[in-house]
Chains A and B, each alone.
Chain A
Amino acid sequence: MPIKVTRRLYYIFCCIIGESFVMFSILITVLIFFFAFAMQLAIVRILRNLHIHTFFSFSIYIVGLIVFILFGFPGDFSYTSILIYILLTLLLMTSSPVPLLGLNSPSSIIVTILEKEKKVTTTQLYRAFDERQLILARLNDLVDVGLVRRRAAGTYIILQKGLLISQFIAVCRVLMGLKNN
């Protein structure tokens, strides 16, 4: 076989092996993530029975990450694989029913109402929302997590931790070009 053809075949072989290896690495990462997710589902149910906050169940993903790093698999694509694993975990956390992230957003309530009623007037739509549920309940959430304090006189005052978060968000808003509306 001429040398040129052999070289070309060798190159194609390397490309196929290389491409398969990249795909295989990512596939393994996704599989490990889903395995950790299945474990977390089981842990959530156990924690709930023990009356422990279910947020701690997310620690299973840290265990998964440590195992992932210790085994060093999948070799050459370790940074990409680890980043994909971390991002999948973070995305799951942002979409999880965690109290502060809120389950019933006003937008989803509006769509749910319109799906049921077909046609709704502006007044009916506004009447469907309770201001206490919308604002006071969330204000109390902030008190519960220690970002805001309620004084005896009924005034709410920001705490140091809340102020830092608020200032950080204000900077982010400016950088992102968002307006208060």
Chain B
Amino acid sequence: MTADGIILAISFFGFVMFVIFFSLLIRRLPTYPIHAIFSSFILAFFIAMIFAWITAPILSIMLVSFFLYTLLAAFYILGIYLNIDSSLHVRILQEVAGAGHRGLTYAGLLKKYNKETILQKRIAWLVNSGEIEKTGNTFRHRRNFSTLLLREKLIVFLTRLYGK
């Protein structure tokens, strides 16, 4: 196998492991997405590096494989998981599709999916990931750097670059 093939094999092996671990963890910890992402990333990374050590113990191949594996995992989370799990557009589309040919009114949609359901899920995410703190009936911000909002920060940064 060529070095190119080895890099691809290691990266995709790591990525498949990441997807499997993440799918298993998110089933058990649906309100702890950050924990599930980091745990599965580290677990899959170690397994991929063991595989790399067996197939080609060359530093540059391992480094490039790690870079490619990180890109694949990042795309899975940012491009696939976040859009499928937390996109409001996707959820609304699914509710309308679920209504079939009879259709759904705006009031009917609100009975199934509303501000309450949206915010409950987000608050649970933010509290469990340590971004915000809930004391009794009040919320407080905890961190200056938020991993959960990395994508939003990137969007804001790119909006500045692209110009309004």
Interface residues of A (CB under 8 A from B): 15, 18-20, 22-23, 26, 41, 44-45, 48, 54, 76-80, 83-84, 87-88, 90-97, 100-103, 105-108, 110-111, 114-115, 118-122, 125-126, 129, 131, 134-136, 138-139, 141-142, 147-148, 151, 154-158, 162-163, 165-167, 169-170, 172-173, 175-181
Contact = CB atoms under 8 A, between A and B. Distances in A.
14 contacts: A23-B63, A26-B64, A79-B4, A90-B79, A96-B158, A103-B156, A114-B139, A118-B140, A119-B138, A119-B140, A138-B89, A139-B96, A158-B97, A181-B121
B152 A107 contact: yes
B122 to A, nearest CB: 5
B105 A77 contact: no
B33 to A, nearest CB: 10
Interface string B54-67: 00001111011001
Contacts, number: 237
Given A91-B78, A155-B102, 17 more contacts: A18-B3, A19-B59, A76-B4, A84-B67, A90-B79, A91-B75, A95-B154, A95-B155, A106-B119, A108-B149, A120-B139, A131-B110, A157-B99, A162-B93, A163-B97, A176-B81, A180-B91
Interface residues of B, number: 84
Given A23-B60, A139-B106, A125 B139 contact: yes
Given A77-B4, A95-B155, A110-B126, A135 B163 contact: no
B94 A166 contact: yes
Given A94-B78, A115-B141, A148-B96, A155 B105 contact: yes
Interface in B1-27: 2-5, 7-8, 22-24, 26-27
A22 B30 contact: no
A111 B129 CA distance: 12
Nearest to A97: B159
B2 A76 contact: yes
Interface in B83-124: 83-94, 96-97, 99-106, 109-110, 113-119, 121-123
A87 B71 contact: yes
B104 A110 contact: no
A107 B148 contact: yes
B158 A114 contact: no
B161 to A, nearest CB: 6
Contact of B8 (A80, A119, A173, A181): A80
Contact of A175 (B23, B92, B116, B152): B23
B146 interface: yes
Nearest to A137: B88
A172 to B, nearest CB: 5
Contacts of A119: 138-140
